[in-house]
Amino acid sequence: NAGVMQNPRHLVRRRGQEARLRCSPMKGHSHVYWYRQLPEEGLKFMVYLQKENIIDESGMPKERFSAEFPKEGPSILRIQQVVRGDSAAYFCASSPMPGNEKLFFGSGTQLSVL
């Protein structure tokens, strides 16, 4: 049973480009959380999704950021017109149900904006 898979592991973008980060949850997990982590800081909640639904996006910036978790395929975190301040590690975690102790993280995507 593969773990939570994130790709790419490293992503380099120039200012103004789009970044797409993918997260495939563990088999049987239908709940996905996205977090952002700046160097020397803790994980900041961005968005919580179930299949085809956004449950809580209170941590997402209002502009340029969007997330989806379609019926088929991975969850996607999309950042449009990236700026240098978007440079961070983006982690996703998956769970079989909300509030469950079986919450596991992917290896993260390190986004660097030049």
Gap between the Cα atoms of 75 and 114, Å rounded:
25
Phi first, then psi, for residue 82 (nearest 5°) are: -60, 150
Number of residues that bind other proteins (CB under 8 A): 23
Q: Is 53 in the site for other proteins (CB under 8 A)?
A: no
What 8-state DSSP symbol labels residue 60?
S
Q: What are phi and psi of 84, to 5 degrees?
A: -60, -30
Map residues 75-104 to x or -, x wherever contact with other proteins holds by CB under 8 A. ----------------x-x----xx-x-xx
Residues forming the site for other proteins (CB under 8 A):
31, 33, 35, 41-45, 48, 55-56, 58, 91, 93, 98-99, 101, 103-108
